[in-house]
Structure 1
Amino acid sequence: MSGPTLVLLPGLNNSRAVFDGVVAALDPAIDARAIDLPPLASVEAIADAVLADLPERFHLCGFSFGGYVALAMLARAPERIAGLALVGSLPAADSEAARENRSRAIETAQAGGYEAMVQTNASAAFHPESLKDEAIMARRAAMVADYGPDRFIAHSRAAMTRPDRTATLTGYAGPVLMLAGECDPLAPRERMEALVGAHRAHVVPGAGHLLPLEQPAATAALLSGWLRTA
């Protein structure tokens, strides 16, 4: 008998390759599908495009920006989502300061500074030990080059305009999992636990925001355990 379908949505500046190590470590019976997100300027438009190409029912995992898209998919088609996992992602809308930061980043990308900007921001995205790992840094650089400034601009605009979907998450009756790296400032343990309870929120040592890239085996183990009980 075939296992569950698990759809994996990558984050900002990431291609589906961010999940390569996770997919490799998952049980082969799991039908894992990591997909690239189209360069559309709203999470709702991206959600509709992704839903159109998926089976009738599936488990969904969104990393960072992919979590925003996952919540938009849940809001639009809750009956199709067998379970939801969010990695380094919270349901709140951007603050005014965050929107201003995104606007400046868009201007930088439009002026040709996308790859340099992302490289400069690496120290905030990774665990200190990951920054010393040449293989991780090389994989990240390849993803950034593949992702490109046009996709970054579209996805940044989508992130800026997304609504608060806390009620979508807390009102969902299906199985939920929240994960984050120990050094991820975007998804602190206390905020995850307040949303879904301590038993469904996990912090992974040795990782910053880029948890699937930094600790793929640990990420896969937590997702596999969740799928077994979902």
Structure 2
Amino acid sequence: MRLVILPGLMCDGRMFADTVAAFDAQVIDGFYDGADGIGAMADFVLARLPDRCALLGHSMGGRIALELWRRAPERIDRIAIANSGIHPVRPGEAEARHALLDLGRREGVAALVDRWLPPMVGPEAEPGTAVYASLHAMAVDAGLDIFAAQIRALLGRPDAAAVLPTLTCPVAIIGAEHDGWSPPAQQRAIAAAIPNAQLAMIPTAGHMASAENPPIFNRVLADWLARPSDLPSRG
């Protein structure tokens, strides 16, 4: 069963290099061809999916994975959602996201990433580490146009809460100990709303858990991929 990985905001395959090396996996790269809506991103992915696959969605990619389940559940054998959310736009969120975009337009994308990335990572991926340097380069390479398009997508996102009880496949909800953007309590609430979810927390990691602690992240994925498709059970 091929694992298809859906990256989050300003992310690409570099964040999942260890996961791609460990599994039969492909990353939907290219920043969703600049799409600026979750539905349009889902359409972009759907055209590139195998007939049936396992889906891993990170952050914004988790929302895309849920939209894909809403549209084409027959194509999906199982879903893992890492460091993500299901809530609609919260008060103050649009202003905070637009402030980052304005910073990037004034001072360049590197300044935007300098502000955006440090709160996203845990203590083992702080500025000065090789992991941070790789993540920083990845986000800078995305550029302002992609950031703006993906912000439009996130600010126009649907409330995905109604999708959760419909997930009849094996589901893994993956959080991280130091994720302040998608905190552990949020991941526990998502898992509790899904009949067959297994919940895992990645120690020492923040929002970029797959790059921050790849061995533990991949162990969680291996456990999830080993679950029988026709025998869901809460973990």
TM-score by length of 1: 0.90
Q: In terms of mean alpha carbon deviation, does 44-53 or 126-135 score higher?
A: 126-135
2:27 is aligned with 1:34: yes
Residue identity matched to 1:51: L
After superposition, residues 33-182 of structure 1 pair within 5 angstroms as: 33-36=26-29, 37-131=32-126, 134-182=129-177
- Structure 2: unaligned runs, 5 residues or longer: 230-235
Residue identity matched to 2:180: P
2:4 is aligned with 1:7: yes
1:22 aligned partner? 19
Residue identity matched to 1:183: H
Q: Distance in 2 between matches of 1:71 and 1:84?
A: 8
- Structure 1: unaligned runs, 5 residues or longer: none
The alpha carbon displacement at 1:191 in A equals 2.8
The alpha carbon displacement at 1:34 in A equals 1.1
The alpha carbon displacement at 1:205 in A equals 0.7
- Does structure 2 retain, via aligned residues, the 8 Å contact 1:23–1:220? no
Matched position secondary structure for 2:182:
coil
2:233 aligned partner? none
The alpha carbon displacement at 1:45 in A equals 0.3
Cα distance 1:199–1:169, how it changes in 2: closer, same or farther (>3 A)?
Answer: closer
Q: Distance in 2 between matches of 1:136 and 1:101?
A: 25
- Does structure 2 retain, via aligned residues, the 8 Å contact 1:109–1:153? no
Matched position secondary structure for 1:96:
coil
Matched position secondary structure for 1:99:
helix
1:225 aligned partner? 223
TM-score by length of 2: 0.88
Q: Distance in 2 between matches of 1:12 and 1:101?
A: 15
The alpha carbon displacement at 1:91 in A equals 1.2
- Does structure 2 retain, via aligned residues, the 8 Å contact 1:15–1:146? no
Q: Distance in 2 between matches of 1:193 and 1:73?
A: 22
Give aligned pairs, total. Answer: 223
Larger relative contact order (Cα-Cα within 8 Å, sequence gap ≥ 6):
1
